[in-house]
Chains A and B, each alone.
Chain A
Amino acid sequence: MQTYNIFSLARNALTGHQNWQKAWRSPPLKDQYDVVVIGAGGHGLSTAYYLAKEFGITNVAVLDRGWLGGGNIARNTLTIRSNYMRDESIPFYVKSVAMYEGLTKELNFNMMHSKRTMVDVVQTYPKMRELRRRQLTMDIYGSTYEQISTEELRRRIPALTGGGPDARLPVIGGMVHTDAGVNRHDAVAWGYARGADALGVEIHQQTAVKSILRGTDGAIQGVETNRGTVRAKKVVVAVSGHTTTLTETAGLKLPLRTMNLTAFVSEPVKPLVDVIVNCPDSGFYFSQSDKGEMVIGGAPDMGQSFRRDIKQHVFEDTVTAMLSLFPAFKKLKLMRQWGGHLDIAHDASPIMSKTDVGGLFVTAGWWGGYKAIPAGGLTLAHLVAKDQPHPLMASFTLGRFKHLDFVLESGTTTAR
């Protein structure tokens, strides 16, 4: 793999940037692999990378019906955090946050990782109690969450001029999660793709899986694609939103529903807000990107949806809530908005699991799965390679539904 640094950049500048290698190859599609990963998104690519890097499984094809990194990794709001409530969740996200911090070096690709801290703006006592409740369990796993006063909150977020004592929902204080950060989402996909490719993994774009093939013994045989049959004894489904569409072709039913979640950005402006601002009582969160745009997210839409779109009333509620806390944003302009679909499990926690179909693995139900990409890939690679769940994800298999042992994180922050 060609090294990226200031020297290689300078060297290439002198030759008019004609000699950069391709970030990934476009090899011919073989008819057999050890592992086929469906979905060249964050989770699919990182899984393939760690399969090769940590488990020496390099005869891997990542197939995508569109372009690599074109799913939710192209549509999220960049937030990486580990402020969860439960033992099942916290260590996994702590691991993922730590892996993100080392990812630029790991992949020799600048992720522009910025540990800019998440600050919760709290407006009701029940919410404060609910947030504070997770503080000490997080501490056991090395994740930080501290309460701050309203004065400190306003000092950290000078743009927070609303929510005064006479407001409908006055600001009563905040919580600070210093582990949280953001990074460049496209870079995650590209970095993992480049890294996996260098280790021998093949990435095949515009390769749509039509169905999952099972043998007479019921076990996985491979997949049928628009470019022909590809055989593999192990198939990983990493296609947020479309999981059930694919697994149903293998006769497998999963407790998942597909939902639409939207985000929007403002016009770029000079630096105003340094931290990730999360307003759980008002139902929105945002951070300012390095380009100057406010990247804003809100509540999901009602109803199942595969249409990446905006519900005007949901959007207006988010904007109204934002303006009550940040009235100066009335003059800020909306520049772009978009939707993305994700699947959500019956208990709203992720599923990373073997299935009843031998050789078929799924990673799904990631609601806010961007932050889980590095650890998600590592743990899924472990599961695929060793046929045993990684300890960090042991509670998230499909087996939990057998006795209805849900993992209930009670989606308490808005920031997904």
Chain B
Amino acid sequence: MPSNRLPTGGRINRNQPVRFKFNGKSYEGFEGDTLASALIANGVSITARSFKYHRPRGIVGHGVEEPATLVELAGANASGNVPATTVSLHEGLSARSVNCWPSASLDLGATNQLISKFIPAGFYYKTFKWPNWHWYEPSIRKAAGLAAAPTHPPASGHFEARHAHADILIAGAGPAGLMAALIAGRSGARVFLVDEGTEAGGSLLNRALLIEGRPAMEWVADAVAELAQMDNVTHLQDSTVWAYREHNLLMVNERSPQNPSVIERSWRVRAGQVICATGAIERMLVFANNDRPGVMMASSAQAYVNRYAALPGKQAVVFTNNNSAYAAAADMHAAGVEIKAIIDSRKTIPKDALACVSGIKIHAGHVVQTTKGHRSVRGVVVAPIDGGRRFTVSCDLLAQSGGWNPAVHLFSQSRGTVRYDETLASFVPDQPAQRTHSAGAANGDITLDSALSSGAKAALAALNETGEMHQTANVPTGQDTPYGITPLWQVDAKGTKSKAFLDIQNDVSVDDVHLALREGYDNIEHVKRYTTGGMGIDQGKTGNINIIGVVAQQKDLPLQDVGATTFRAPYTPVSFGAIGGIREDSVLFPYRHTPITAWNHDQGAFMYEAGARWRRPGYFPRPSESFQETVNRECRAVRESVGVYDGSPLGTFELKGRDTGKFLDFIYTNVMSSLKPGQGRYGLMLSDDGLIIDDGVTLRLDDHRWLLSTSTGHADAINQHMEKLLQTEFPDWEVMITTVTSQWNNATVCGPNARKTVEALGTDIDLSPDNFPFMSFREGTVAGLAARIVRVSFTGELSYEINVAPRDMLTLWERIMKAGKPHGILPVGSEASHVLRVEKGFLSLGHEVDGTADAYDLNMGWIMSKKKPDYLGKRSVELRRRGTAVRRELVGLVPDDPNHQIPEGAPLTPGGKKQKTEGLTTACVWSVMNDRWVALALLENGHSRHGETAHVRLKDGVIPAKITAPVFHDPDGILLRS
């Protein structure tokens, strides 16, 4: 039996001993212990080193508020920076203190203590400047950072996410939360009860209180059992409501789901009403050496003796400014701790408090000025608060209480305002911003009776707002010491040079705050940032308000005017794994593909992401072929014989209705309404501020049905654009849009032998150029499949885009490959398509269309209708062209050296000098038709500069290139019409 374990009592399972390791040494505890309680039971006093000065630290708290002892857990689900007070003990647990070397009890970083007066708050800003910060940074980085960074994901298991809807979400299953849950649950409302502890009960777990004359934990057990019977209640323990978002969305992190393969579960709960019954957190008192191991929160000492049957000390002094520590003293006393004295800063001590502790020496109107001892507390120096003779009381535990801060974190996250309450000497919820209620200690109802009744009140209020009218509820009576406090923000530290800490985790002392104020950093946010107070992992749960108190005192302002700092999510740290949940990149970025993906893979295609989440074949390499050789081969097939590519990803929309022609005339720059059924037309789409947003071919299927195609990457945006116009601007126009991108797939056969190939497939469609000219379409049968053939061309060659239903696509494709075999047909990937379109000077969104160029710049003035009085972008393009800005116009570039490739994006500058650019290379390809590199560029006044030489500026050189028309193959477009 470890030395500090009580023989009986506690909520530990003595039949289940647990062995664990801490900083390499083996210890034993019990199931039900936390790492902290087990260490206390084993008499381990130094459990950590502080961040900046590496001072020895012990265990200060008993829950999420723990500021001092952060540990790294080893093993499969290792994580760092975990408060030892929140780690449930389990067999084989191995933990070590963060940020100390070689160990917590002997830490070489402690030499920082010797130079502490040279490193006050903000010292970084004043020094480490010479010769520069880079000199110092690596060693400073190494010193910072607490736990080691994770290097591997969890070895097994997965994270999970769930959605839930609740009429009432209750955060906290202490007396107030349980009371609220019982009332709400009994009414039939859907209740979601969440508590961060491993067991329900909240503060009742730690205190020896009675409800209706019985031990309070019996009432808790009954309540939990009753709730478990209710189908309408979801009750989660070891789960934290870590964020309170807009519209009553609350995020819950469930840390120990029933399913062992689920590491953690994330809940998104949308709640009708929220009850914050999150309790209160005890705050520290501020006096010299208040960080020494053995200085502990009074409620924590109480928790260790009551809940864990572990003695944090044998001889204790209690230092308080409020009543709650008296009950803690009484419980410690009952457990066998000798209470050497209670030091109370109040001159008059309420009778209720005194009633708890008969026979214990009480020094009213006294304060602890400092603690004595080296590696742990050996005694305290006590003096009257107004000055006077000092005396020493020896002890090995100082249990202290500076009062209670309602845990308003969630309430504050919800945008509720807080106000300083003089009676409680703390911030309490004021005006809720959402459908939020506060109950129990979180609402400032500190004592058991008031917590139970405010829990009931909150439940009734929440039910009334959900429409269930409930007037009353039975509330049991609890017995508790009434709360009373006189705030003490700091003990006057004159006479001691030792540091009095406000933020134990970040080593921020009263001196630091005073220095910040002296230097003019006098807003509370400045103080926080300059000193780093409250910026630690605990977000200052025990200390923040003391910083506000010290600032208030120094500036002689009420705390309300100093103001609370903002509480930000998360309430306590949450693993990113839990936040991401079960989703993975394939869910976040779902990909799209066509029915011939497997065929492409079989052919060895290099597949890649080609925009709008489509996976497409880039090229079809053959063994021992270079990339360029592959692309050239595919290009040559199209130019010299026949190739085929899968054009299915193009966005396709069917538009139907009386006003479709009018609508198309409005969204395209050219006239579409004059198309005859069976015809198609290329169109350009502008935004109303005159920028090109898309291009594509529109077909007229019959009088009222049109088929519109968009670029692959913009299909979704164009769908949105069209629906928005129709639904919000022209609701009386009769146009219906159906997305049919995935209803039609197409294989585009292109090249001089395209017609022969399609004929060989077998079709009832007359393919002769007279009867089936360019920019028209026919419906019929191809290779025995129902099909629509469209004569469009993105390559400049004779092309047949054969559209079939997706189920027929693979069949069609395979038959095309067979039919084209005599002509040496090749599948063509995106890379070759790019070359082919550049050779023709066909524009591409993202290349030539980069937001700056308009149709005139792109030699497409013809597409800007002069006849139509109005269409999107018309007025803006006119206005822009009336301006004085020099236009960059599309030209071709032919490098003087045919083997000189121009990098895409390479700038053109006058004379090739390193200066402001006059143009930009938008694309450059090896042209198989010209046997040289050719490029497209946007160049200032380019249209009037054909024949001149432009200069491409490289890093260390210039490529001279002749300016030409932006077309390198079949300039008159004879082939595509053939």
Chains A and B share a contact (CB less than 8 Å): yes
- Residues on A lying within 8 angstroms of B by beta carbon are 4-6, 8-10, 13, 16-18, 20-26, 66-70, 74, 87, 104-105, 108-115, 123-126, 129-130, 132-137, 139-140, 159, 162, 167-169, 184, 186-187, 190-191, 205, 266-272, 282, 288, 290-292, 307, 309-312, 315-317, 319-324, 327-338, 346, 402-406, 408, 410
Which A residues touch B852, using CB under 8 A? Answer: 408
Question: Do residues A405 and B883 form an inter-chain contact, with CB atoms below 8 A?
Answer: yes
CA distance A358 to B133 in the complex (A): 44
Question: Do residues A410 and B851 form an inter-chain contact, with CB atoms below 8 A?
Answer: yes
Question: Do residues A403 and B519 form an inter-chain contact, with CB atoms below 8 A?
Answer: no
Closest to A4 in B: B126
Is residue B570 contacting chain A, with contact meaning CB distance below 8 A? yes
Which A residues touch B134, using CB under 8 A? Answer: 114-115
CA distance A70 to B763 in the complex (A): 72
Question: Per-position contact with A for B835-855: 1 when CB-CB < 8 Å, else 0?
Answer: 000000000001000111000
Question: Do residues B159 and A269 form an inter-chain contact, with CB atoms below 8 A?
Answer: no
CA distance A334 to B577 in the complex (A): 10
CA distance A282 to B589 in the complex (A): 9
Set B586, B618, B914: member contacting A140, Cβ < 8 A: B914
Is residue B151 contacting chain A, with contact meaning CB distance below 8 A? yes
Closest to B137 in A: A114
CA distance A25 to B117 in the complex (A): 26
Interfacial residues of chain B within 254-291, with CB under 8 A of chain A in the complex: 268
Question: Do residues A320 and B80 form an inter-chain contact, with CB atoms below 8 A?
Answer: no
- Among the 9-residue stretches B608-616, B664-672, B798-806, the one with 4 or more Cβ atoms under 8 Å from chain A is B608-616
- Among the 9-residue stretches B242-250, B332-340, B418-426, the one with 4 or more Cβ atoms under 8 Å from chain A is B242-250
Closest Cβ of chain B to A270, distance in Å, is 4
Is residue B584 contacting chain A, with contact meaning CB distance below 8 A? yes
Question: Do residues A330 and B153 form an inter-chain contact, with CB atoms below 8 A?
Answer: yes
Question: Do residues A271 and B127 form an inter-chain contact, with CB atoms below 8 A?
Answer: no
Is residue B494 contacting chain A, with contact meaning CB distance below 8 A? no
CA distance A413 to B473 in the complex (A): 58
Question: Do residues A403 and B580 form an inter-chain contact, with CB atoms below 8 A?
Answer: no
CA distance A346 to B851 in the complex (A): 13
Question: Do residues B904 and A129 form an inter-chain contact, with CB atoms below 8 A?
Answer: yes
From B126, B127, B137, residue with most partner A Cβ within 10 Å: B126
Is residue B574 contacting chain A, with contact meaning CB distance below 8 A? yes
A267 with B245, Cβ < 8 A, contacts A20-B519, A320-B588 known: no
Closest to A109 in B: B125
Set A9, A135, A312, A316: member contacting B580, Cβ < 8 A: A316
Is residue B78 contacting chain A, with contact meaning CB distance below 8 A? yes
Question: Do residues A309 and B245 form an inter-chain contact, with CB atoms below 8 A?
Answer: yes
Closest to B245 in A: A312
Size category of the binding interface on chain B: 35 or more
Closest to B909 in A: A140
Closest Cβ of chain B to A96, distance in Å, is 18
Closest to A322 in B: B576
Closest to B952 in A: A136
CA distance A240 to B408 in the complex (A): 30
Is residue B120 contacting chain A, with contact meaning CB distance below 8 A? yes
Question: Do residues B904 and A336 form an inter-chain contact, with CB atoms below 8 A?
Answer: no
Closest to A408 in B: B851
A168 with B589, Cβ < 8 A, contacts A130-B846, A329-B150 known: yes
Set A4, A24, A110: member contacting B520, Cβ < 8 A: A24
Closest Cβ of chain B to A142, distance in Å, is 9
Question: Do residues A324 and B118 form an inter-chain contact, with CB atoms below 8 A?
Answer: no
Set B146, B520, B580, B585: member contacting A330, Cβ < 8 A: B580
A/B pair count, beta carbons within 8 Å: 306
CA distance A323 to B587 in the complex (A): 13
- Among the 9-residue stretches B376-384, B674-682, B767-775, B915-923, the one with 4 or more Cβ atoms under 8 Å from chain A is B915-923
Closest Cβ of chain A to B711, distance in Å, is 12
Question: Do residues A330 and B154 form an inter-chain contact, with CB atoms below 8 A?
Answer: yes
What are 27 A-B contacts defined by CB distance under 8 Å? A17-B515, A20-B519, A67-B525, A112-B137, A124-B611, A133-B904, A140-B953, A169-B609, A267-B80, A267-B537, A267-B573, A269-B81, A270-B146, A271-B142, A290-B140, A317-B588, A321-B585, A322-B576, A328-B153, A329-B150, A330-B153, A330-B154, A331-B153, A334-B575, A337-B570, A403-B885, A404-B879
Closest to B517 in A: A22
Closest Cβ of chain B to A74, distance in Å, is 7
Closest Cβ of chain B to A11, distance in Å, is 10
Other CB < 8 Å A-B pairs besides A67-B523, A270-B142, 19 of them?
A: A20-B519, A25-B520, A69-B526, A109-B125, A110-B125, A126-B609, A126-B846, A268-B146, A270-B145, A310-B245, A315-B579, A317-B588, A329-B576, A330-B159, A330-B576, A332-B150, A336-B539, A408-B691, A410-B851
From A167, A270, A288, residue with most partner B Cβ within 10 Å: A270
Set B130, B132, B268, B846: member contacting A5, Cβ < 8 A: B130
CA distance A129 to B609 in the complex (A): 13
Question: Do residues A403 and B883 form an inter-chain contact, with CB atoms below 8 A?
Answer: yes
Question: Do residues A320 and B518 form an inter-chain contact, with CB atoms below 8 A?
Answer: no
Closest to B497 in A: A16
Set A8, A133, A315, A406: member contacting B126, Cβ < 8 A: A8
Which B residues touch A10, using CB under 8 A? Answer: 118
Question: Do residues A331 and B907 form an inter-chain contact, with CB atoms below 8 A?
Answer: no
Is residue B599 contacting chain A, with contact meaning CB distance below 8 A? no
Question: Do residues A404 and B690 form an inter-chain contact, with CB atoms below 8 A?
Answer: yes
Closest Cβ of chain A to B757, distance in Å, is 30
Is residue B896 contacting chain A, with contact meaning CB distance below 8 A? no
Which A residues touch B530, using CB under 8 A? Answer: 186
Which A residues touch B141, using CB under 8 A? Answer: 271, 288, 290, 292
Closest Cβ of chain A to B24, distance in Å, is 19
Is residue B410 contacting chain A, with contact meaning CB distance below 8 A? no
Question: Per-position contact with A for B897-916: 1 when CB-CB < 8 Å, else 0?
Answer: 00000011111010000111
Interfacial residues of chain B within 495-553, with CB under 8 A of chain A in the complex: 511, 515, 518-521, 523, 525-526, 529-530, 537, 539
Closest to A112 in B: B133
CA distance A113 to B518 in the complex (A): 26
Question: Do residues A26 and B520 form an inter-chain contact, with CB atoms below 8 A?
Answer: yes
Question: Do residues A23 and B519 form an inter-chain contact, with CB atoms below 8 A?
Answer: yes
Which B residues touch A129, using CB under 8 A? Answer: 904
Closest to B151 in A: A328
From A133, A135, A186, A288, residue with most partner B Cβ within 10 Å: A133
A334 with B130, Cβ < 8 A, contacts A137-B907, A271-B142, A321-B585 known: no
CA distance A399 to B193 in the complex (A): 58
Closest Cβ of chain A to B30, distance in Å, is 27
Closest Cβ of chain A to B556, distance in Å, is 15
Question: Do residues B905 and A133 form an inter-chain contact, with CB atoms below 8 A?
Answer: yes
From A105, A268, A291, A315, residue with most partner B Cβ within 10 Å: A268
